[in-house]
Amino acid sequence: MSAPAESASPGATAPGDAVATHCPYCALQCAQTLTRTPDGRLPVEVDGREFPTNRGGLCQKGWTSAEVLRAADRVTTPLIRTTDGGFREAEWAEALDLVADRLTTLQEAHGRETVAVFGGGGLTNEKAYALGKFTRTVLRTPYIDYNGRFCMSSAAAASNRAFGMDRGLGFPLADLGGADAVLILGSNMGVTMPPFVQHLAGARERGGLVVVDPRETVTARLASDGQGIHLAPVPGTDMVVLLAITHVVLAEGLADVDYLEERTHGFDAVRRSVASWWPERAETVCGIPADELRRTARLLAAASPSKGGRGAYVLTGRGVEQMTQGTACVTAAINLSLVLGLVGREGSGFGPVTGQGNGQGGREHGQKSDQLPGYRSISDPAARAHVAGVWGVAPESLPGPGVPAVRLLASLGREGGPRALLVHGSNVVVSAPNADAVRESLSRLDLLVVCDMVPSETALLADVILPVTQWAEEDGTMTNLEGRVLRRRKAVDAPGSARSELWILGELARRLGVSEGFPDDPRAVFAELARASAGGVADYSGIDYDRLDAGEQIQWPCPSADHPGTPRVFLEGFPTPDGRARMTAVDHHAPDDDVRADAPTYLVTGRVLQHYQSGAQTRRVPELSAAQPEPFVEVHPLLAERIGLTEGEDAVLTTARGTATVSVRLTESVRPDTVFMAFHWAGAGSANRLTNDATDPISGMPEFKVTAVAIAPARVPVEVTAP
């Protein structure tokens, strides 16, 4: 294998050239080498590349990622809906004219707020930035949000509240290897980002991997055989586990008292709040033996620096975040980390494990309803003035905050709600909760425009589909789960007339009367993004393509060209007004849609290794689709016996929102009171037709991860009333 140059030219490479880039899928952003193969069935060959995060490893999704470049049904030309319900191919000029005309007409008739934009956590930093700018300066509507709302919003809200900053992991991933203990709550990286597991080897060797998950997942099994502890709480009660562990740490005098004194405030309220969660009480709520909770607390404390340990990390995932108490649950994890004195110390720490490819960068550059680039608040006059200055517009011309994703989707086509929606890099009819209602919402629109590379289920509902480039066909940057800014590099040209969103936004802007400010060169966009972020929390102003192409590993904040970046944040203090971390007392509440007589089983949702998000990409890869061809429900044999289900037969699952029919897989890895579905599929077995769109009051995160469900053999339909 030839060693690819980090400083590959930004354009398409010559045949045989190797291009250093990163995987198109998750936030681990495994380093890849793409070798162009002009005579092959696929335009590039993919190989793993040595990098601090993946250490050369790739999972099956990454290895097969080139298949999506040549998906059989790839959209290669703009498509316009015809009166008979189909699509016809169109030239770009016609499609863009049509979109611009319809947007203009709708905005003239109903006001600027009649247009909404929905972005995605898979878009490059440049695209996310341009999309936010386009929304605020060309469409001038407040209504933009993105699927990161379904991903990282609870973790972001909790981190911002506690630390004044959210950088995902505030330390290099490789630091995990030196710790004595790693506590993982609601993340199954053994399946979702397998190369991550290499960094857990140290903790496992020392018996210190603690996994909290209602299922015995692949990741939970990593803690078996003396390598750690798996705690399997009743779904929706992870917070109780955290409160009880914190209780034990305090009750047994294991806290880092000096750290709490010097680096935090609000501890007293937290101490009082956990006094009510003694282990025996927690046991009756979360179903984990009191002594297991104590053992876990002692293990974590022994690993903490104040007790002479080599360090401990607390990591959260969607399992604890996608709850109506998601922000509170992450706060409980942060409180535990602070009580143990882990945060802002080399060798220890707290961090949420970001999911989507650019889930970190995607939440920093202005596609979130309340944010401007640099992780700035759109309600902050100084932030508005700074960004407006970079954009060359008047601060007062910028709209205020919009609404979070679930509310935005629900308002579509309703009185006073948006009548037009532009979707970029998201497949909401599969990935949003209460998916049947989302489909209805989209049907109420006067105009739906979807930019996608394949005809996703959402694209198929559009009035206009605009074909876009992906991954190996484009340049840009992605920010991974540890806040490291990475270069995505172009290896091949896109098929047909697919174009980058940067170009599309520029063309639309021009048609909507804004001729400047939307270059299609990602390098130029990044340079502007860097300026816009200057002085913000997520400060990229010292980063440019030249530094990245020269091989520099830069984690933000990086406020100047001679700044090396910040591998570990908070070492000197927290970016809060007084430099201390803020502790907030939180308490547990039951799920919004809790089990009851006619829906006595918990439904939890998650992922399988072979598919990514809504499956729009991975379901089009034959090897992945063959390994995981269809939706399924995991059922414990005891539950199956009670309701008369057998392996492989179809079960009907019914919640207060919808029904799904899927085949049954019997497994003891799921609790008998719980069933599990992966959410990657559309159609009759689509998990998100069942999930709850109730949201966290602070983050707007929907409660994907727990709802009450009735399950029965397909031959015996059931009725479920609203909770």
Partner 1 sequence: MKVVVIGHGMVGSRFVDDLVGRDPHAEVTVLGKERHEPYNRVLLSSVVSGRTEPGSLALPSAPTARVRVLRGVSAASIDRDAREVVDSAGEHHPYERLVLATGSQARVPGIQGVANDRGLLPGVSVLKDLDDAHRILAGIPQARRAVVLGAGVLGLEVATGLASQGLAVTLVHHHGRLMERQLGEAAAQVTTGSLRKLGVTVITETSVAHALDRRGALSAVRLTDGTEMLTDMLVMCAGTIPDTALARAAGLPCERGVVVGADLASPADARVFAIGDCAQPPEGGTGLVAQGWEQATRLVDSWASTGTSGADAPPEERDADGLDPTNVVRVKAAGLDVVTMGLSGKFEHGERELRAVRMSDPAIGRFVEVVVSHGLLVGATVVGDKQAASELSAMYTRMLPVPADPAHLIIRPLAGAARPAATAVADMGDDHTVCQCNSVSKGRIVAAVGDGCASVDDVAKATRAGTGCGDCRSVVAALIAVSASENPGSPSHDDEMSAPALAGA
Tokens coding 11 = 């354009």
Q: Which of 34, 69, 285, 603 binds partner 1 (CB under 8 A)?
A: 285
- Number of residues near partner 1 (by CB under 8 A): 70
Q: Which of residues 376-435 bind partner 1 (CB under 8 A)?
A: none
Measured in degrees and rounded to the nearest 5, phi and psi for residue 150 equal -90, 0
Nearest to 303 by CA among 205, 173, 203, 175: 203
Q: Is 287 left (phi over 0), alpha (psi -120 to 50) or beta?
A: left
Regarding 585 and contact with partner 1 (CB under 8 A), the answer is yes
Q: Rounded to the nearest whole angstrom, what is the least distance from the CB of residue 400 to partner 1 in the complex?
A: 26
Torsion angles phi and psi, residue 400, rounded to 5? -85, -165
Please report how close the Cβ of residue 289 comes to partner 1 at its closest, in angstroms: 4
For residues 649 and 713, the answer to whether their CB atoms sit within 8 Å is: yes
Q: Determine which residue in the list 94, 205, 262, 623 makes contact with partner 1, applying CB under 8 A.
A: 623
Residue type, 626: A
Least separation in angstroms between CB 10 and partner 1: 24
| Torsion angles phi and psi, residue 555, rounded to 5 | -105, 135
User: Which of 561, 642, 647, 717 is the binder for partner 1 (CB under 8 A)?
Assistant: 642
Q: Interaction with partner 1 in 290-349: which residues (CB under 8 A)?
A: 290-292
Token pair for 91: 């030239």
For strands 31-36 and 44-48, give the pairing: antiparallel
Instruction: Single out the residue of 42, 80, 100, 251 in contact with partner 1 (rule: CB under 8 A).
Output: 251
Minimum CB–partner distance for residue 321 and partner 1 (Å): 22
21, 27, 63, 532: which one binds partner 1 (CB under 8 A): 63
Q: Which of 252, 346, 578, 649 binds partner 1 (CB under 8 A)?
A: 252
718 in contact with partner 1 (CB under 8 A): no
Q: Which of 21, 43, 47, 457 binds partner 1 (CB under 8 A)?
A: 47
Contact 477, 489 (CB under 8 A): no
What tokens does 290 get? 């009191």
Q: What three-state secondary structure class fits 362? A: helix
Q: Which residues contact 501 (CB under 8 A, 6 or more apart)?
A: 123, 127, 130, 131, 424, 451, 468
Residue 4 in contact with partner 1, rule: CB under 8 A: no
Compute the distance between CA of residue 15 and CA of residue 39 in angstroms, rounded to an integer: 10
Contact residue for partner 1 among 610, 686, 692, 695 (CB under 8 A): 610
- For every residue of 214-274, DSSP letters joined together read SS--HHHHTTTTTTEEEE-PPTT-HHHHHHHHHHHHHHTT-S-HHHHHHHEE-HHHHHHHH
198 binds partner 1 (CB under 8 A): yes
Q: Is 56 a residue that touches partner 1 (CB under 8 A)? A: yes
Distance in angstroms (rounded) separating the CA atoms of residues 117 and 133: 11
List Cα–Cα distances, 397 to 108, 110, 529, in angstroms: 17, 18, 19
Q: Is 671 in the site for partner 1 (CB under 8 A)?
A: yes
Does 33 bind partner 1 (CB under 8 A)? Our answer is: yes
Strands 632-635 and 554-555: unpaired
Among 196, 556, 570, 632, the residue binding partner 1 under the rule CB under 8 A is 196
The pair of structure tokens assigned to 391 is 């954009």
Nearer to partner 1, 70 or 272 (CB): 272
If binding is defined by CB under 8 A, does position 238 make contact with partner 1?
no
Check residue 597 for interaction with partner 1 (CB under 8 A).
yes
Residue 226 as a binder of partner 1 (CB under 8 A): the answer is no
List the one residue from 194, 361, 402, 542 that touches partner 1 (CB under 8 A).
194
Residue ranges that bind partner 1, judged by CB under 8 A: 1, 33, 47-50, 55-60, 63, 190-191, 194-198, 216, 218, 221-222, 224, 230, 232, 234, 247, 250-253, 269, 271-273, 275-276, 278, 280-281, 283-292, 585, 594-595, 597, 600-601, 609-610, 623, 627, 638-639, 641-642, 668, 671-673
